[in-house]
């Protein structure tokens, strides 16, 4: 018998394989120059950073969450080896190498942010970004924190001592004054995790509460390309602040200035609408966040008509409500700390009024608050009655589909890294992977040339 041959033929990666299509848009030509200041000129040779980045992209594009498993898959899978430029005999780095580089040179050089912006630029070059309509939203991702090991938010904890040994605690202390983190709210959380104190205790899913971070996406509505991503605390104030940050950054990085912004009512506060309309000139296709509705049968604020010329509200009985009925010795601001101006009716008008039981049964006169940003709120209400708003509301679902893809297909329903920087790293890599998959799907492979 003829002994079996020990030779085998290497089957090339199929042309319809995901990584072959993704590889066209992975440009790491400037990677080594970008990281050169963070490497030493002496000592043994370092592991190629391009190899590590390509391995991380495989992990996030293919939903391989464990770095140990990722190293095993790259070692065995020919397609993964081809994508990493390893060949058949190339050595795969140890899984611990990723942690050392992520917490060191990758983070110090802001490499993963640069990698994500490279994918955005590829989408711009391919004509996938229209730039006219954007949508913004946030989704909660579970943090790597255990409820059983948490402490009450009111309990005294020596964070300075813990910061000496825990990187996540040091990052928490460094972000206490940032708008997307510690400064987003002064409310003391119910529980705090000593292992990841920046994670927010939240019950937003109407089920069991958990520790979480928020990943914030700003997408273009044409092809649902992610033009920016930001990590923040899992509270509404931080998410609104992240939306401002992303809009400003896309203007600075890519000169993208949308005509309209679609979002849900969490972004419909008076301050946010005023910022969009008056400071940025963006049409808010956003439902107004309004708590003026009454359920006791009395007149709501919508029952009062505002007279712009007289700067007064007119009640259902035809009487005027003005901003101030008193003259003070020391001038006082019309608006309070919440940006509200209170329009008051005269007691002489309200006392004999037959509609008083339906207007202000428990007070001598009626008061109606008006935001200093009410003009922007009125504009948002007017837009909500148009066909364009209905289209934006339907297209806004594209961002929800991206979050579903992030959690179900890419497997990012729980973070593996801790601290604000760990959340940023994972969110940047996941958004870069989603953009690369979008490019691979929408830009067809070139036809092979005949021999």
**pLDDT band with cut points at 50, 70 and 90 for residue 315:** very high
CA 222 to chain CA centroid, Å, is 19
Q: At 331, is the secondary structure helix, strand, or coil?
A: coil
Structure tokens at 223: 């092809």
How far are the Cα atoms of 65, 155, 211, 369 from residue 144, in angstroms, in the given order?
A: 13, 21, 8, 43
Are β-strands 260-262 and 283-285 bridged in parallel, bridged antiparallel, or unpaired? parallel
At residue 310, φ and ψ (nearest 5 deg) are: -90, -10
What would you measure as the largest C-alpha separation in the chain, in angstroms?
115
How far are the Cα atoms of 316, 410, 413, 422 from residue 74, in angstroms, in the given order?
A: 73, 17, 23, 23
Flag whether pLDDT at 329 surpasses 80: no
Q: Check: CATH 3.30.420.10 for 129-288+381-442?
A: yes
Structure tokens at 77: 């899978």
pLDDT value at position 34? Answer: 78
Q: Which of 70, 69, 68, 42 is nearest to 56 (CA)?
A: 70
Structure tokens at 175: 């972000």
Structure tokens at 215: 């990943």
Write out the DSSP string of 335-362.
B-TTSEEEEE--HHHHTT-TTHHHH-TT
Task: Please tell me the number of Cα atoms within 13 Å of 4 on its side-chain side.
Answer: 2
* C-alpha to C-alpha distance for 38 and 58, rounded to whole angstroms: 24
Residues 200 and 189: beta-carbon distance below 8 Å: yes
pLDDT value at position 340? Answer: 86
In the chain, pLDDT over 70 holds for what percent of residues?
94
- pLDDT digit string (tens) for 369-422? 888 898 899 999 999 999 999 999 999 999 999 999 999 999 999 999 899 999
- pLDDT digit string (tens) for 43-93? 777 788 888 899 999 999 999 988 899 999 999 999 999 999 988 888 888
What number is the average pLDDT over the span 416-441?
Answer: 93
What number is the average pLDDT over the span 284-289?
Answer: 93
* C-alpha to C-alpha distance for 425 and 213, rounded to whole angstroms: 13
pLDDT value at position 5? Answer: 43
* C-alpha to C-alpha distance for 272 and 264, rounded to whole angstroms: 12
Residues 188 and 159: beta-carbon distance below 8 Å: no
Tokens 């709120």 found at:
377
Query: CA 72, 103, 159 angle in degrees (round to 5)?
Result: 125
Mean pLDDT computed over every residue of the chain: 88
* C-alpha to C-alpha distance for 48 and 30, rounded to whole angstroms: 13
**pLDDT band with cut points at 50, 70 and 90 for residue 2:** very low
* C-alpha to C-alpha distance for 313 and 323, rounded to whole angstroms: 9
Q: What is the CA radius of gyration of the chain?
A: 28
Residues 119 and 25: beta-carbon distance below 8 Å: yes
Q: Which of 280, 291, 260, 267 is nearest to 371 (CA)?
A: 291
pLDDT value at position 255? Answer: 94
**pLDDT band with cut points at 50, 70 and 90 for residue 8:** very low
Residues β-bridged to residue 341: 335, 370
| Residue 43 Ramachandran class (φ > 0 left, ψ -120 to 50 alpha, else beta) | left
Q: Which of 217, 246, 225 is nearest to 131 (CA)?
A: 225
pLDDT value at position 1? Answer: 40
Residues 183 and 176: beta-carbon distance below 8 Å: yes
- pLDDT digit string (tens) for 150-208? 888 888 888 888 888 888 888 888 888 887 787 777 788 889 999 999 999 988 767 78
Give the list of residues 6+ apart from residue 273 with CB closer than 8 angstroms, or none. Answer: 284, 286, 288, 373, 376, 377, 379, 380
Flag whether pLDDT at 450 surpasses 80: no
* C-alpha to C-alpha distance for 173 and 435, rounded to whole angstroms: 32
Tokens 């050169």 found at:
36
Domain boundaries, the chain: 18-36+45-109, 129-288+381-442, 305-365
pLDDT value at position 7? Answer: 47
Flag whether pLDDT at 9 surpasses 60: no
Flag whether pLDDT at 3 surpasses 60: no
How far are the Cα atoms of 172, 198, 419, 451 from residue 175, in angstroms, in the given order?
A: 5, 9, 10, 59
First vs last Cα of the chain: how many Å apart?
39
* C-alpha to C-alpha distance for 215 and 141, rounded to whole angstroms: 7
Structure tokens at 155: 């309990």
Angle, in degrees to the nearest 10, between helices 387-395 and 397-408:
0
Higher pLDDT, 206 or 148: 148
């Amino acid at each position: 018998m003829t002994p079996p041959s020990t030779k085998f033929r290497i089957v090339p990666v199929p042309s319809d394989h995901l990584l072959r299509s993704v590889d066209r848009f992975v440009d790491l030509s400037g990677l080594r120059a970008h990281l050169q200041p963070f490497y030493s000129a002496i000592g043994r040779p370092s592991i190629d950073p391009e190899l590590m980045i390509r391995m991380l992209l495989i992990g996030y594009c293919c939903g391989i969450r464990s770095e140990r498993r990722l190293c095993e898959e790259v070692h065995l899978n020919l397609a993964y080896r081809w994508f990493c430029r390893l060949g058949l005999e190339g050595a795969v780095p140890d899984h611990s190498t990723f942690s050392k580089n992520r917490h060191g040179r990758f983070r110090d050089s802001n490499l993963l942010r640069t990698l994500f912006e490279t994918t955005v630029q590829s989408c711009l070059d391919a004509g996938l970004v229209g730039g006219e309509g954007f949508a913004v939203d946030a989704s909660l991702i579970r943090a790597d924190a255990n409820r059983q090991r948490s402490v009450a938010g009111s309990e005294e904890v020596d964070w300075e001592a813990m910061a000496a040994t825990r990187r996540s605690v040091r990052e928490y202390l460094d972000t206490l004054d940032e708008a997307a983190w510690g400064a987003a709210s002064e409310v003391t959380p119910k529980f705090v995790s000593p292992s990841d104190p920046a994670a927010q205790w939240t019950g937003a899913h109407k089920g069991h509460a958990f520790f979480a971070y928020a990943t914030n996406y700003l997408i273009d509505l044409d092809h649902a390309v992610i033009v920016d991503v930001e990590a923040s605390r899992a509270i509404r104030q931080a998410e609104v602040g992240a939306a401002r940050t992303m809009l400003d950054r896309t203007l600075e990085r890519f000169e993208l200035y949308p005509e309209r912004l679609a979002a849900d009512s969490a972004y419909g506060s008076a301050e946010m609408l005023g910022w969009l309309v008056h400071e940025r000139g963006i049409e808010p296709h956003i439902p107004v966040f309004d708590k003026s509705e009454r359920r006791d049968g009395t007149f709501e604020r919508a029952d009062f008509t505002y007279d712009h010329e007289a700067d007064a509200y007119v009640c259902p009985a035809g009487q005027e409500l003005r901003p101030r009925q008193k003259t003070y010795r020391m001038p006082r601001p019309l608006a309070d700390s919440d940006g509200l101006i209170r329009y008051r009716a005269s007691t002489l008008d309200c006392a004999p009024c037959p509609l008083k039981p339906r207007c202000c049964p428990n007070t001598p006169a009626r008061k109606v608050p008006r935001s200093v940003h009410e003009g922007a709120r009125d504009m948002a209400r007017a837009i909500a009655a148009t066909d364009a708003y209905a289209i934006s509301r339907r297209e806004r679902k594209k961002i929800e589909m991206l979050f579903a893809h992030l959690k179900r297909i890419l497997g990012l329903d729980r973070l593996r890294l801790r601290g604000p920087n760990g959340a940023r790293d994972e969110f940047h890599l996941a958004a870069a992977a989603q953009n690369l998959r979008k490019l691979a799907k929408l830009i067809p492979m070139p036809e092979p040339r005949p021999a």
